[in-house]
Amino acid sequence: MTLKLGRHEFADDATLMMAIVNRTPDSFYDQGATWTEGKAFERVAQVVAQGAEIVDIGGIKAAPGAEVDVEEEKGRIVELVARVREAFPGLVISVDTWRAAVGEAVCRAGADVLNDAWGGADPELVDVAASYDAAIICTHTGGVTPRTRPHRIEYDDVVAAAIADTVAYAERAVAAGVDPRSAVIDPAHDFGKNTFHSLELTRRLGEMVDTGWPVLVSLSNKDFVGETLDLPVGERLLGTLAATAVCAMAGARIYRVHEVVETRQVVDMAWTIAGRRPPARAIRGLQ
């Protein structure tokens, strides 16, 4: 399916790198390295130079922590979105938020995508996306409250649940007026899930791809990788890339990442092996 992400369109054989930019003082991965607006903007410039097609700007860490109200969240990200929009007109700007009020503010500032990591916790977010012709990421969280960790959550079939919930969310977005090319589904590894659930979703991601909706995966340095390999956050790159290769073989279209260059190489290799992408050059044995 051709992707329409706000003012940008991508062919149905395109894979996209979505680079993470945290305007938070307490990110689990970078521990506030891009907390100031200047550092966050430097990160944007860096990942653009590395080839990222999308940046995903977030103003609240996903894990439990200090309360961040709507005005504080807007204060962290709206001006940054406007600055990035002016500096990089060809870049897709995504904002990681579940709040409709924040979504409206960032869309006015130039955002193209609303990345709802909390599975429709604010039902009005789809109306904001429709009003601004923005794309929306429809995630599966099992109905957990935003910024809470799962505790002994159970599914009869986690993949079936993820498909049912994300497809229903995408259909609700389209019914609200979102372009059908602008709804993306995301199994949301670790969100509302234990490690076994995330591994099952990775193994069976092709079932989500088979729905026909474009699939995003956010695997980078997640706990399911760390628990599988018994490694801390800073040592999960190889495990992340292994999971990425599996999802790429299955046909995921968008990859939300910390490491752009490494992920791009893995995805391109996997898509070429799968027969969806030609080699960049192929002269061996031909000349």
Q: Which of 273, 269, 250, 258 is nearest to 225 (CA)?
A: 258
| Amino acid sitting at position 280 | A
How many other C-beta atoms are found inside a 10 Å radius of the C-beta of residue 154?
9
* Burial bucket for residue 209 (CB in 10 Å: 0-12, 13-18, 19+): middle
Q: Please state, in angstroms and rounded to a whole number, the distance separating the CA atoms of residues 217 and 256.
A: 6
Whether the CB-CB separation of 17 and 266 falls below 8 Å is answered with no
Instruction: Given the residues 193, 204, 222, 264, select the one marked as catalytic.
Output: 222
Spatial separation of the C-alpha atoms in residues 109 and 79, rounded to whole Å: 7
| 108 given a catalytic annotation | no
Residue that is written with structure tokens 């956050």 in the block: 233
With H, G, I as helix, E, B as strand and everything else as coil, classify residue 287. coil
The single residue listed with the structure tokens 């709802």 is 116
Tokens 């990681």 found at = 96
Catalytic residue among 99, 193, 256, 264: 256
- Tokens matching residue 150: 């799962």
Q: Are strands 216-218 and 254-257 parallel, antiparallel or unpaired?
A: parallel
**204 is known as an active-site residue:** no
Per-residue three-class SS string for 159-196 = HHHHHHHHHHHHHHHHHHCCCHHHEEEECCCCCCCCHH
Helices 260-273 and 237-250 pack at an angle, to 10 degrees, of: 40
Catalytic residues: 222, 256
